[in-house]
Amino acid sequence: MPARPVAILGAPLDFGAGRRGVDMGPSAIRVANLRARLIGLGLDVEDLGNVEAPQQESVPQGDSKTKYLEPIAVTCRKLAARVAKAVGAGRFPIVLGGDHSIAAGTVSGMAKKKRVGVIWIDAHGDINTPETSPSGNVHGMPLAALLGREPKALLSGPKLNPANVALVGLRDLDPGERRHIHEWGVRAFTMRDVDERGLRPIVEEALRIASNGTDGFHLSFDMDAIDPAVAPGVGTPVQGGLSYREAHLIMEMAFDSGRMLSLEVVEVNPVLDVSNRTADLAVELILSALGKKIL
C-alpha cells in the first residue's frame, strides 16, 4: 500500500454501549502519541479533531429496543460526511472510537466515495437488529444496518454487499446474530477457526472476500477482539481472544495487501484500562496497519 496523506478523526460516542467510558477513547489514543508516531513513519498526518457528539446525560434514551438511536444516527451522519470529505481530499481516514456504532458512520462515508468491502475484527458480531438484540444497545447493531437491515436510521450511504463482508475473531454471539450470519450470507471466522486453521489463512480469505469486485476494504477493529489479558481497557471483554502477535499480524497483512482504504479502532475504555495500556496497543496496531515493520 503506497504511502498517502493520513487524516485522523475522533468519534467520542458512548451512547451505543451499556458501559460508560469509551467516549474518552479518542483522547486516550491521542495521549499515546498517535500523530507523532505516524509522522515517525514518514507519513503526512492531519488530525481533524473530533466529530461533535452530545453527552449521554443531555438526551433521552428513547425506545428501549434502540437506546439513544437518534443522537447516534445524527453523530454517524456527521462522521460519514467528514470521512467522505477526507477521502475526497485524498487522505486515508483513521477513525478513533468511541463505541462500535460509529462504524455505521465511517463505512457510510467510505461507501459514498468507493465500492468498499469490510473486514470486521471483533469478539462480537454487531449484527443484531432491534428485534433480536437482548440489550437494545446500538453498538451491537451497526453491521446489520450497514447491510441494509434495521436500524436503517444508521445507514447514510450505499448498503454493503454481504458477499464483501468478513468477520474475524468472533467468540460471543447472540442467537439472533448466529441466525443473521447464516441467513444473510456473511462470512464469519470464530476463534475456533483461528485455533484450528491458524490466523494467516483466515486473514488471506477475509482479504479476498472484502476485495473481490471492490475498490478495496475498510478495516474495523474492535479492541475487545484481543484477549483482555493483553487489552484490559475495553467495555465488553471476553476471555479467549486474539493474542498480541495475532492482532499485529492482521494489521501487517492488511497493509501488505495494498487494498486497505480506511481504518477505525474502537471500544478503548480508559476507565477500565491500566496505565493507558490498551490505548498504547491501539496505536501500535495502527502503526502496523500503516506500514511499520519489524525488519
Catalytic machinery residues = 100, 122, 124, 126, 139, 222, 224, 267
Q: What residue spans of the chain are helical by DSSP H?
A: 25-31, 34-39, 69-88, 103-113, 142-146, 175-184, 191-197, 199-211, 244-257, 277-289
d(CA 151, CA 62): 14
Question: Crossing angle for the helix pair 103-113 and 69-88, nearest 10 degrees?
Answer: 40
279 near 233, Cβ under 8 Å? yes
CA torsion 37-107-150-55 (nearest 10°) is 40
Read off the DSSP letter of residue 233.
Answer: -
Query: What's the grid cell of residue 11?
Result: 468519534
Cβ pair 116, 158 in contact under 8 A: no
- Which DSSP category does 161 fall into? P
**CA proximity to 267, closest of 83, 122, 65:** 122
